[in-house]
Amino acid sequence: MSDFDLTRSSEAARPMPQLARQGFEARALKSGLLTGLTWLAALLAAVPLISVMYLLLVKGGSRLFGADFAEVLTGLPPAGFELGGGIGPAIVGTLVMVGIASVLSIPIGILAAIYLGVLEPRSRLANTSRFLAKVLTGFPSIMAGVFVYAVLVIHWGYSAWAGGIALAVLMLRTVVLAAEEAIAQVPQRMKDAAYGMGCTRTQVIWKVVLPTGLPGILTGVLLAVAGAAGESAPLLFTALFSNYFISELSEPTASLSILIYNFSGMPFPNQIELAWTASLVLVLIVLMFNILARLIVQPKV
Amino acid sequence: MANLFASAGSASSVSGPPSGGDYAADSIFRGLAWLSAFLIIALTGYILWEILREAFPAMQAYGLGFITGTTWNVNTGQFGVLPEIWGTLYSSLLALFLGGIFGIAIAIFLTQDFLDHRVATVFRTIIEMLAAIPSVVFGLWGIFVLIPLLKPGAEWLHSQFGWFPLFSTDLAGPGMAPAALVLAIMILPTVAAISVDAFRRIPYKVKEAAYGMGTTRWEAILKVMLPTASSGLLAALVLGFGRALGETMALAMLIGNANQISLSLFSPANTLASLLASTFPEAGQLEVQALMYAALVLLVITFIVNVLGLAVQQYTIRKFEGKK
């Protein structure tokens, strides 16, 4: 113990190192400078979002929250120099196609996630499937459009079906990966307890895994829906566009994102104003799903 | 006196082995799950097969000359995508440079105790919201806000430093600079999120050890945290690059769709994805085949980049958590 005697008298004889922080030392200055730069970078990164939101509210809000909001929400898109008009068909079209995509992709996505997360997580099929879902996540979204064009549009023409299926291809990967992650959070001991009581695997999944993982799955599903609602590239040459309300699923269909794309390039102020209004409506729809997804409380397990 | 054996096997018991119906439901359900997992593989294969099949006539007709050709002319039947490949890579690299710096700076800002925990959560939500804004909305914002904002600066740079290749043309409207800037904003959330993940994987004791040796906060970040997180940051950059390569609508609206190769930041250009977006809806049969070939080229590029990024990410996870 004497080696570590802190009261050695020789201590006083040695020069004490300078331990206090020195504000103007080079390394402290460098640290301060870098901290400042990081703050600057972070604040700069928030500028685009604030700018986008501000302009959406100002330019899009003037029509949406103005006197003729009913016409804007339900009216047909104006042609050429025509004034007024609205984005009704585009709102309906977006909702219909996102609906088709959800109905197709959510059940398949969750079932696949169950296979990947519970049934055979380490099997070759699961590993391949998981890897491909991740690779699909990196796919350019326009590829879904190209694919559906080659499979459906060439034979049956532009339709809401084609648009919805293209969106479903994109949603599937998100739903699978998010649902698998949520399912993987379910503790093994809960599953073991259920198996110990003699449950079949299906009963374990329905009575333990899915109820416990539900909040996480829902969050993933809502984020996938939000993503699909904002997509435009896959709709460009699958659903095309239409100036009228959708009457059949086998017809070209309007969507908010394509309306924004088309109107943004027009030389008419009325159309550009409507493009901003449509943007505001689209962002509100997307943000609503996003916020809903965040509001779902994750249980602590 | 109660008969101890009376309840054994009687119908009033709540327990029992799974019934035949339970077993049947089990098999059917597991079969459906298997089918769904298999469907992902089949779908990926089908997508590849369809695009290959549609592109095949063009591949036969133009061969590798398609990749080195520089003209896109429907009337003469000449199709080449070198300018688009150049534009795709150039715009993505520019975006990666900006988005990478900002993304990693934000990841440091969020994970290295600069902010109170709750403020950091709010800030992270703001960055995540950036990812939720649809591409077309960024395109619209770019046309009516960013381009007018950049014009005076671009004019000045061109007039003063016109000899410098990056500023050799004037910004007439849409062009590389606004496109790359918007692209940088769009990949920022991806880069930031994966980088945050990379920093979070570093055990806390690593930072404590650095502080314990008397480092300043930035000495700890630059000499300990960044090198330790390096493979995760690399994955963030590669996957961000992959996202930039495939981004379509904002670029179709901002890059100007000009079939030329230029180093200038202010000249219009084109990318593979925006070529598809702007030409596909009105293309004839011959052009559609050429576009399918272009889609295939884009697919191959993004596939390589993404698999690379996923591999680096997987390597990082294994490094910190051991082989799973």
> Band of the pLDDT at A2, cuts 50, 70, 90?
very low
Range of the domain at B254: 83-287
Q: Output the pLDDT for position A21.
A: 64
Q: B36, B38, B145: best mutation site toward chain A, by most A Cβ within 10 Å?
A: B36
Take residue B100 and report the two structure tokens written for it: 């990478």
**Nearest CB to A147 within list B50, B136, B221:** B50
The chain B residue lying nearest A150, using CA atoms, is: B50
- CA-based nearest distance B50→chain A, Å: 7
Q: Considering only A35-39, A296-300, B42-46, B162-166, which range has the smallest mean pLDDT?
A: A296-300
- pLDDT tens-digit series, residues B161-209: 888 888 888 888 898 999 999 999 999 999 999 999 899 989 889 989 9
Q: Output the pLDDT for position B4.
A: 52
Q: Output the pLDDT for position B324.
A: 43
Residues A118 and A7: their CA atoms lie apart, in Å, by 62
- pLDDT tens-digit series, residues A42-71: 899 889 999 999 999 999 888 888 777 888
Does residue B73 lie within any of the structural domains? no
Between chains, do B36 and A151 touch, taking CB under 8 Å as contact? no
**Number of domains chain B contains:** 1
Give the SS3 label for residue A280.
Answer: helix
Between chains, do B141 and A55 touch, taking CB under 8 Å as contact? yes
* pTM score: 0.88
Q: Output the pLDDT for position B214.
A: 85
Contacts of B194 (CB under 8 A, 6+ apart): B232, B235, B236, B239, B240, B313
Q: Does the structure show a pLDDT above 80 at A135?
A: yes
The chain B residue lying nearest A280, using CA atoms, is: B137
Residues A298 and B221: their CA atoms lie apart, in Å, by 32
- Measured between beta carbons, the chain B residues lying within 8 angstroms of A199 are 18
- Measured between beta carbons, the chain B residues lying within 8 angstroms of A227 are 132
| Portion 206-245 of A in contact with B at CB < 8 A | 226-227, 229-233, 236-237, 240
Residue found by looking up tokens 């996870």 in the block: B317
Helices (H), chain A: 26-55, 61-64, 69-74, 88-114, 124-138, 142-148, 154-156, 160-184, 188-196, 201-204, 210-230, 256-264, 269-295
- Measured between beta carbons, the chain A residues lying within 8 angstroms of B138 are 52
Could you tell me the CATH number of the domain that includes residue B122? Answer: 1.10.3720.10
Taking residues B45-74, what's their average pLDDT? 89
> Band of the pLDDT at B21, cuts 50, 70, 90?
confident
Does residue B163 lie within any of the structural domains? yes
Q: Does the structure show a pLDDT above 90 at B11?
A: no
Between chains, do B36 and A169 touch, taking CB under 8 Å as contact? no
- CA-based nearest distance A9→chain B, Å: 26
**Nearest CB to A146 within list B123, B216, B292:** B292
Classify residue B320 as left (phi > 0), alpha (psi -120 to 50) or beta: alpha
- Measured between beta carbons, the chain A residues lying within 8 angstroms of B217 are 31, 35
Taking residues B48-69, what's their average pLDDT? 90
Residues A202 and B65: their CA atoms lie apart, in Å, by 55
Indicate the CATH number for domain A88-295.
Answer: 1.10.3720.10
Q: Output the pLDDT for position B98.
A: 94
Q: B136, B251, B298, B299: best mutation site toward chain A, by most A Cβ within 10 Å?
A: B136
- pLDDT tens-digit series, residues A159-185: 999 999 999 999 999 999 999 999 988
Q: Answer yes or no: are the C-beta atoms of A166 and A147 closer than 8 Å.
A: yes
The chain B residue lying nearest A153, using CA atoms, is: B281
Contacts of B104 (CB under 8 A, 6+ apart): B191, B192, B195, B233, B236
Q: Does the structure show a pLDDT above 80 at A145?
A: yes
CA dihedral of residues B200, B206, B209, B215 (deg, nearest 10): -60
Q: Does the structure show a pLDDT above 70 at B7?
A: no
Provide the 10 A C-beta neighbour count for residue A153. 21
Take residue B56 and report the two structure tokens written for it: 């095949």
- pLDDT tens-digit series, residues B89-145: 999 999 999 999 999 999 999 998 888 888 888 888 888 888 889 999 999 999 999
Take residue A97 and report the two structure tokens written for it: 């196609």
Which residues pair with residue B73 across a beta bridge? Answer: B78
Does residue B238 lie within any of the structural domains? yes
Q: Output the pLDDT for position A16.
A: 67
> Residue type at A159?
S
Does residue B138 lie within any of the structural domains? yes
Checking A116-125 for CB contacts under 8 A at 24+ apart, the result is A116/A176, A116/A180, A116/B37, A117/A179, A117/A180, A117/A183, A117/A184, A117/A209, A118/A183, A118/A191, A118/A201, A118/A204, A118/A205, A118/A209, A119/A201, A119/B30, A119/B33, A119/B34, A125/B34, A125/B37, A125/B38, A125/B41
Which residues pair with residue B78 across a beta bridge? Answer: B73
Which residues pair with residue B72 across a beta bridge? Answer: B79
The ipTM assigned to this model is 0.87
Q: Output the pLDDT for position B85.
A: 94
Does residue B32 lie within any of the structural domains? no
Q: Answer yes or no: are the C-beta atoms of A90 and A278 closer than 8 Å.
A: yes
> Band of the pLDDT at A208, cuts 50, 70, 90?
very high
Between chains, do A260 and B137 touch, taking CB under 8 Å as contact? yes
- Measured between beta carbons, the chain B residues lying within 8 angstroms of A34 are 218, 221
Q: Taking all residues of chain A, what is their mean pLDDT, rounded to a whole number?
A: 87
Residues A248 and B178: their CA atoms lie apart, in Å, by 39
Does residue B282 lie within any of the structural domains? yes
Between chains, do A150 and B38 touch, taking CB under 8 Å as contact? no
**What percent of chain A clears pLDDT 90, i.e. is strictly above it?**
54
Between chains, do A48 and B130 touch, taking CB under 8 Å as contact? yes
Q: Output the pLDDT for position B87.
A: 93
DSSP one-letter code for A10: G
Residues A230 and A223: their CA atoms lie apart, in Å, by 11
Between chains, do B37 and A35 touch, taking CB under 8 Å as contact? no
Does residue B273 lie within any of the structural domains? yes
- pLDDT tens-digit series, residues B197-249: 899 989 889 989 998 998 888 889 999 999 999 999 999 999 999 999 989 99
The residue ranges of DSSP E strands in B164-277, in sequence order, are none
- CA-based nearest distance B118→chain A, Å: 15
Q: Does the structure show a pLDDT above 70 at A138?
A: yes
Q: Does the structure show a pLDDT above 80 at B18?
A: no
- Measured between beta carbons, the chain A residues lying within 8 angstroms of B130 are 45, 48-49
Between chains, do A44 and B102 touch, taking CB under 8 Å as contact? yes
